[in-house]
Structure 1
Amino acid sequence: MSRKMHDWFSRQMESTRLHLARPDALIQLAVMGLITGLLAGAVIVCFRYLIEAAQNFALRGNGPDAFESLTPWMRFVFPLAGAIALAVMFRWFAKGLYVLGVARVLERMAYHQGHLTLRGFVLQFFGVAIALISGHSVGREGAHIFLGACTGSLLGQKLELPNNAVRTLVGCGTAAGIAASFNTPLAGVIFSLEVIMMDYQLASFIPVILSAVTATVVSNAFLGNAAVFSVPIMELGSLKEIPLVVILGLLSGTLAAGFIIMVKKIAGKGKVWPIEWQMMAAGISIALLGMWLPEVMGIGYDTINIALIGGYSAGLLLLMAAAKLVATSICSALNVPGGMIGPSFFIGATL
């Protein structure tokens, strides 16, 4: 680039930065939201491809999450090997950065104007990939949210945009992550505005919705738009079934409260351990549970689809719900990278 071209570009960027700091920068923010959606969608597609290709190879072509196809001995080795890899990565590369996912995004938005780091991006990308490939009981959706938010934040920081623009791009990336995960742009927009940004101004809404739609288009182009769950046609047989629905709601709420309490208690005991010992404890726990009940390994979407068509007995479903609750509590409390949305679906569906 010639000197004159470089100077012209620098002047244009400085003018854009100054304009983005003003409340009337809707068009510029909309363009940045569009770019964030493209980048976040591409990151999530690469992330999904990495996990699914590695799982398909490791699980002998039986598809993602098909840990039931492994021998009991291999189901013990997989989580243990993953725990060792995670322990090494977080011990030597994390530099004290152990809390990632949605909690990290909220903390950086509240206290650091949405500035996320490349280190966190790399830890989340490869950490969650290792955890899922090795069968730990975590989800990928929390990682999608963090990776999308981090993509927007890093883009804003790279262009030296003002803090208000960086915060908007974090919201754009968050919406893009959810939209690309579930093929639901509107849900991504609502979550981003309600939970992450806590802002419903027009200057925030339009860039966020553009980002969510763009990421959905990118995801559909590469991953397809097939639904994650094959839900059969459901209808209420009679009003006598309503009490069952009420009972299920009460049981689900009780189980959710128990899950939160269990996570807090395990985290309280485990926080005094070095991060490598936390990873190893989680890996050994999942290895032992996986040898006994392989359905609890990984996210468990394949198990949910079988449960939806009545493929399990009531006793086995209850057993899987309890085991998944324990496995997810351990992984979440001991800082194994990954989300809880997928495992929560599993627990609710089997219940």
Structure 2
Amino acid sequence: MHSTIKKLLNKQSSSKVSEYFSTEFRDLLSGSKTNVQLCLLALAFAIVASSVIILFRWLLQASFEITELKHTDFVADFTDWRSYLPLLGVLLIWFTARLGSKRYKQMGIAYVLHRYKLYYGKIPLPSAPGQFLQALFALATNFSVGREGPAIHLGAVSASVMAEKFNLPDNSVRILSASGVAAGIAATFNAPLGAVIFVFEVIIREYRIHYFFPILISAVCGAMSSQLVFGDIHEFDAITINDMPLNLYPALLADGLLLGCFAALLNSSLLKITEVSQQWPLLPKLFLAGVVTTIIGMLVPQALGSDGLAIMTATDTSIGMTFLLVILFAKTIATVSAIGLGIPGGLIGPLYGIGAMLGAILAEINAYLIPESAPYIGTYTIIGMTVMMGVCLNAPLAALVALLELTYDANILLPAMFVMIPAFLLAFQGFNCRSILLRQLDMMGLGYRVPPLNLGLQKRGVRAVMEKEILILDHAQFQQSASTHCADGSLVLIKTDDGNIHQVAKNEDNAEVLQVSSTPLKLLPDTATLDDAYHLLAPSRSGEIAIYQKQTCNIVGLISWNMIYKEVRKGHV
């Protein structure tokens, strides 16, 4: 008797839990308010995303041991076998691309931005292996590309695929995808706040409070995961940053203008190479990038890699101006050729390397003209890195916060902010320099623009608005009890033998007569957003849609044009 009661209680408890996750839980996720449930999901998905990125970092470090790129004893030497690594990288990248599906060949930050804007952040899982392996090969063979490209793509894939697996509402999938991006960046750079700002400034491109906490939690999770495995490392904390006196700031104004000019030149050069080579076959493009990178590696090996060697050279006070200019030119060519010709990877690392070289050159010039500025070479280096990232990616705030975390020194903030202003204004107004990511999307023909109304409607799921008190009858039940339920105000739907759903309503001329709509109701899954319903009803500006859960036979609600209109009028959208 006791065991029977216990089984019955367990069954009831299980039924209640199942009912909660299929109704109330999904209703909360469909809304546009901060809630604990979404934050917990973000945390769970961030753990998965962080694990993927940590595996990527671990394999990359292991590859550096094999290829001896961990050692910094590079000199211009034709016999150094490491100089030929880019050619090996080309073969590995091409072979991996050939093995993968052509349908999922697109990858990187620009592609993630496209999917986020137009597809609720849903990124196909088959694109992940290609991104993982190709970016690993590119970085391991010393191409001038960054680590944030694969981190953003893999983080977004990890979160969005899991969200789709659990059939979550589309509006919450978008938030979780952005949270995965934050986890990936934070796990890569140990810069959680910079990751949060980057996601809002570059990926989401707007601020919403109910997005903030899931993304913040994911970034914290990513940074903590990185610290548990690799330690609490701040990559640029060894660079000496002194508090710069205000009397040197007029010179910084001129430096900002020069940095803005160079950032605009770099953007236009990279986009030109991308445009010219866009229709080329894959192997010739990759081979040309490999040859250019190999030649540069033989002559100026300090220009290769993501950013480490260039930054180390820039902060070495024994390096002369001529050699700094040579490395700057070589690093720029290596970056433009690699990324412009389709080598998979990010742009932030190379921008840091180029910015460090520019900062060191400006420091040398200022030290010659104003001897008092000589002790601030480290400050100039970080300023150059901050401005190049901020201008080229149209992300000034993310650049400032990221370098603050990477240097672990607040002395950089005021001078970097001061220089960012003239650099950004000159590049964007003087040279019409837009975000390089958006320009890449335009060239690839991938959309990212969403009208404000549709963007607002996409933030709420249909479950947050739909009428749940409905009654579904078959023909026999309709004949017996439809009039009774219509009289008490219930929404009555009738399911025909062919499986279609029709709405039952009172006749306008005679309230006692019930009529069945001649056309079946359109159907939407309960994962859809108000924007999906809007697109179905907009042509007629009227009508209703039946909402189903998992299967079309399981109708859980009804949404009408009037409901959507009221949401817009109330300011909820």
Q: Given residue 119 of structure 1, which amino acid in structure 2 is its aligned partner?
A: P
Of 308, 323, 347, the residue aligned with 1:301 is 308
- The verdict on how the C-alpha distance between 1:158 and 1:72 changes in structure 2, with shifts beyond 3 A counting, is farther
Of 193, 202, 213, the residue aligned with 1:195 is 202
The gaps in structure 2 that reach 5 residues or longer are: 1-10, 359-573
CA distance in 1, matches of 2:77, 2:27: 61
CA distance in 2, matches of 1:128, 1:67: 24
Residue aligning to 1:14: 22
CA deviation vs aligned residue, 1:166-225 (integer Å, no higher than 9, x gap): 101111111112222332222211222233224533321111111111111111111111
How far residue 279 of structure 1 moved from its aligned partner, in angstroms, is: 1.2
Q: Given residue 274 of structure 1, which amino acid in structure 2 is its aligned partner?
A: P
What secondary structure is seen at the aligned counterpart in 1 of 2:31?
coil
State the TM-score, normalized to the length of structure 1.
0.90
How far residue 349 of structure 1 moved from its aligned partner, in angstroms, is: 0.6
CA distance in 1, matches of 2:50, 2:317: 34
Residue aligning to 2:78: 72
CA distance in 2, matches of 1:233, 1:309: 14
CA distance in 2, matches of 1:19, 1:320: 54
In the TM superposition, 1:48-67 aligns within 5 A as 48-59=57-68, 63=70, 66=72
CA distance in 1, matches of 2:246, 2:206: 43
CA deviation vs aligned residue, 1:236-259 (integer Å, no higher than 9, x gap): 3672x3343223222211111111
CA distance in 2, matches of 1:144, 1:67: 28
- The verdict on how the C-alpha distance between 1:54 and 1:228 changes in structure 2, with shifts beyond 3 A counting, is same
Q: Given residue 37 of structure 2, which amino acid in structure 1 is its aligned partner?
A: Q
Identity of aligned residues (%): 33
How far residue 115 of structure 1 moved from its aligned partner, in angstroms, is: 0.7
State the TM-score, normalized to the length of structure 2.
0.56
Larger Rg: 2
What secondary structure is seen at the aligned counterpart in 2 of 1:231?
coil
Q: Given residue 273 of structure 1, which amino acid in structure 2 is its aligned partner?
A: W
What secondary structure is seen at the aligned counterpart in 2 of 1:208?
helix
What secondary structure is seen at the aligned counterpart in 1 of 2:226?
helix
Residue 44 (structure 2) pairs with residue 35 (structure 1)? yes
- Give the structure with the larger strand fraction: 2
Of 131, 137, 144, the residue aligned with 1:130 is 137
Residue aligning to 1:182: 189
Residue 244 (structure 2) pairs with residue 236 (structure 1)? yes
Residue aligning to 2:180: 173
How far residue 311 of structure 1 moved from its aligned partner, in angstroms, is: 4.2
Residue aligning to 1:324: 331
Q: Given residue 164 of structure 1, which amino acid in structure 2 is its aligned partner?
A: N
CA distance in 2, matches of 1:63, 1:180: 20
Q: Given residue 231 of structure 2, which amino acid in structure 1 is its aligned partner?
A: G
- Give the structure with the larger helix fraction: 1
**Partners of 2:120 and 2:173 within 8 A in 1:** yes
**Partners of 1:115 and 1:153 within 8 A in 2:** yes
Bigger relative contact order, structure 1 or 2 (CA pairs below 8 A, ≥6 apart): 1
Residue 108 (structure 2) pairs with residue 104 (structure 1)? no
CA distance in 1, matches of 2:246, 2:205: 41
Residue aligning to 1:81: 88
CA distance in 2, matches of 1:97, 1:314: 45
- The verdict on how the C-alpha distance between 1:63 and 1:184 changes in structure 2, with shifts beyond 3 A counting, is same
* Number of equivalenced pairs: 343
CA distance in 1, matches of 2:131, 2:73: 23
**Partners of 2:75 and 2:300 within 8 A in 1:** no
How far residue 263 of structure 1 moved from its aligned partner, in angstroms, is: 1.3
CA distance in 2, matches of 1:247, 1:101: 34
**Partners of 1:98 and 1:335 within 8 A in 2:** no
How far residue 98 of structure 1 moved from its aligned partner, in angstroms, is: 3.9
Q: Given residue 82 of structure 1, which amino acid in structure 2 is its aligned partner?
A: G
The gaps in structure 1 that reach 5 residues or longer are: none
CA deviation vs aligned residue, 1:282-341 (integer Å, no higher than 9, x gap): 111111111111112211313313422424221111111111111111111111100010
- The verdict on how the C-alpha distance between 1:81 and 1:32 changes in structure 2, with shifts beyond 3 A counting, is same
CA distance in 1, matches of 2:76, 2:299: 12
**Partners of 2:67 and 2:82 within 8 A in 1:** no
Moved more, 128-137 or 97-106: 97-106
**Partners of 2:151 and 2:188 within 8 A in 1:** yes
**Partners of 1:137 and 1:331 within 8 A in 2:** yes
CA distance in 1, matches of 2:32, 2:146: 37
CA distance in 2, matches of 1:136, 1:232: 28
CA RMSD of aligned residues (A): 2.3
- The verdict on how the C-alpha distance between 1:82 and 1:197 changes in structure 2, with shifts beyond 3 A counting, is same
Q: Given residue 20 of structure 1, which amino acid in structure 2 is its aligned partner?
A: L
Q: Given residue 268 of structure 1, which amino acid in structure 2 is its aligned partner?
A: E
What secondary structure is seen at the aligned counterpart in 1 of 2:50?
helix
CA distance in 2, matches of 1:185, 1:11: 36
**Partners of 2:76 and 2:299 within 8 A in 1:** no
What secondary structure is seen at the aligned counterpart in 2 of 1:342?
helix
- The verdict on how the C-alpha distance between 1:67 and 1:176 changes in structure 2, with shifts beyond 3 A counting, is farther
How far residue 121 of structure 1 moved from its aligned partner, in angstroms, is: 1.5
Residue aligning to 2:264: 257
**Partners of 2:43 and 2:214 within 8 A in 1:** yes
What secondary structure is seen at the aligned counterpart in 2 of 1:100?
coil
CA distance in 2, matches of 1:120, 1:252: 36
What secondary structure is seen at the aligned counterpart in 2 of 1:336?
coil
Residue 223 (structure 2) pairs with residue 216 (structure 1)? yes
Q: Given residue 44 of structure 2, which amino acid in structure 1 is its aligned partner?
A: I
CA distance in 2, matches of 1:302, 1:12: 55
How far residue 18 of structure 1 moved from its aligned partner, in angstroms, is: 4.5
Residue aligning to 2:158: 151
Residue aligning to 1:91: 98
